[in-house]
């Protein structure tokens, strides 16, 4: 292991420059105009896989954004096959005015690299890639068979990627999936996530008259689409966040006593969270701690509202239509397509006379959970102990990586979430960053991971 540690140490500057070059590709999958940039990011990764000796490297077209595949399958049939997953796309960078630096300039300061994608997922994926590179450079062999699979649309739900996986189960067949795309529970507390929430993301439009109207002439005579929209949103939850859609909670798997005890032992510093976010109180479903609400209960959030006039001064207009985007994070046993149908039925029911409503599913993803006794999960625990010198805690994650549930159902493969991010990295927000010590230690930890995985008997 000393030779690999020396190799990783001596190549730190090159690793950082590679990350900077990767970051400078603005691969925003949500923007159709930037699809060429998503392809550029895919080709960037494919070229690097070829450089270190991976075979059958190819950028695959899909109905959405491109996927990248490559493999190294020379460890022998008795060794596990691990699918190394990551995503090449990033979130949109807006609002631009809240960034301290241009979002794709990759500014390094005070032990961090600041840029869109620095953590999610370009920096974290490269911890996997450079671990593989180091092993091949110094040992000329990997301890397990490895397939690398990268998608270009994780940030927009991955619908085409899911279809690709379902059409290519033999190409992607594996014993487990290794990925780095999650965060630690606290700054000094390594964490392995064993469960992710799913998601159901909708766009809702409320339409009224065939044109915008003068509020003095028509106000009080007709239903105002924006008033109706506000009333509809208000009926989605009660004052404590309980979702009012009939049947929404029917399939929710309850938290076990064992898990609730484990969450309590981890502890949640609610005071520190409020201070960090600059808020005066936490909020949510009663009878649960903040961690339980975030990790083990479904949620509902409005992401955007539009319609009418929002410019300077006054304009007394009744807008002809408005809309909003809303999502629910889902927990074990909830199906995103069933949840969409429940949303659709309820929204139609509560829409007042005088306006019409359109409900569209943008994307959905199922929840994912890995059993506590999984040997692959245990391998991750041992790798963290060796790489960071601390035993990691096992946590759930409130966010979603939709493809992990597809890997579980189609490939029958559990996912090992070796995340090196921190909540202070501000992913999806202005001034996203990634700690460089986690970038470098993550590479070494992933080397330990692959060595531990090699000990598992198929």
Measured CA to CA, the distance from residue 112 to residue 126 in angstroms comes to 15
Per the CB < 8 A criterion, the answer to whether 95 and 430 are in contact is yes
Q: Is 140 exposed, middle or buried (0-12, 13-18, 19+ CB in 10 A)?
A: exposed
Give one word for 313, left, alpha or beta, with left for phi > 0 and alpha for psi -120 to 50: left
CB 243 within 8 A of CB 237: yes
Q: What angle do CA 446, 427, 336 make, to 5 degrees?
A: 90
Q: What is the largest CA-CA distance in the chain?
A: 80
C-alpha to C-alpha distance for 171 and 173, rounded to whole angstroms: 6
Give the strand order in the sheet containing 356-365.
299-307, 321-330, 198-207, 356-365
Q: Which residues are catalytic?
A: 89, 154
Quote the DSSP letter at residue 155.
G
Query: Distance between CA atoms of 151 and 403, rounded to whole angstroms?
Result: 9
Residues 355 and 208 sit within 8 Å (Cβ to Cβ) = yes
């Amino acid at each position: 292991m000393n030779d690999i540690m020396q190799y990783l140490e001596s190549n730190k500057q090159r690793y950082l420059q590679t990350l900077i070059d990767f970051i400078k590709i603005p691969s925003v999958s949500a923007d159709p105009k930037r699809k060429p940039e998503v392809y550029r990011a895919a080709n960037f990764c494919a070229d690097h896989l070829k450089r270190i000796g991976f075979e059958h490297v190819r950028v695959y077209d899909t109905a959405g954004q491109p996927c990248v595949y490559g493999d190294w399958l020379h460890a022998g049939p008795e060794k596990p096959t691990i699918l190394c997953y990551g995503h090449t796309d990033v979130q949109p960078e807006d609002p631009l005015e809240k960034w301290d630096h241009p979002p794709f300039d990759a500014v390094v300061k005070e032990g961090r690299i600041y840029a869109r994608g620095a953590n999610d997922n370009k920096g974290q994926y490269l911890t996997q890639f450079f671990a593989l590179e180091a092993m091949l450079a110094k040992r000329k062999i990997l301890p397990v068979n490895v397939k690398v699979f990268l998608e270009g649309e994780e940030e927009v739900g991955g619908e085409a990627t899911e279809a690709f996986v379902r059409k290519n189960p033999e190409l992607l067949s594996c014993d487990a999936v290794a990925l780095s795309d999650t965060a630690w529970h606290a700054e000094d507390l390594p964490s392995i996530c064993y469960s992710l929430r799913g998601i159901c993301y909708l766009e809702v439009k409320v339409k009224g008259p065939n044109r915008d109207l003068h509020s003095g002439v028509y106000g009080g005579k007709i239903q105002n689409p924006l008033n109706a929209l506000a009333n509809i949103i208000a009926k989605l939850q009660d004052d404590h966040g309980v979702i009012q859609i009939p049947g929404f909670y029917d399939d929710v798997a309850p938290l076990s006593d064992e898990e609730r005890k484990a969450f309590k032992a981890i502890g949640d510093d609610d005071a520190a969270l409020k201070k960090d976010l600059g808020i005066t109180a936490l909020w949510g479903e009663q009878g649960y701690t903040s961690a339980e609400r975030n990790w083990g209960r479904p949620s509902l959030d409005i992401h955007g509202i539009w319609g009418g006039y929002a410019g300077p001064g006054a304009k007394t207009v009744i807008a002809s239509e408005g809309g909003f985007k809303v999502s629910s994070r889902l927990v074990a046993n909830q199906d995103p397509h069933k949840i969409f149908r429940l949303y659709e039925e309820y929204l139609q029911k509560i829409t007042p006379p005088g306006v019409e409503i359109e409900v569209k599913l943008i994307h959905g993803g199922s929840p994912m959970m890995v059993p506590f006794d999984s040997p692959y999960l245990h391998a991750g625990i041992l790798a963290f102990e060796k790489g960071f010198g601390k035993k990691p805690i096992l946590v759930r994650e409130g966010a979603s990586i939709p493809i992990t549930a597809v890997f579980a159902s189609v490939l029958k493969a559990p996912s090992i979430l070796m995340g090196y991010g921190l909540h202070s990295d501000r992913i999806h927000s202005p001034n996203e960053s990634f700690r460089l010590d986690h970038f470098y230690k993550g590479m070494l930890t992933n080397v330990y991971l692959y060595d531990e995985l090699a000990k598992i008997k198929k």
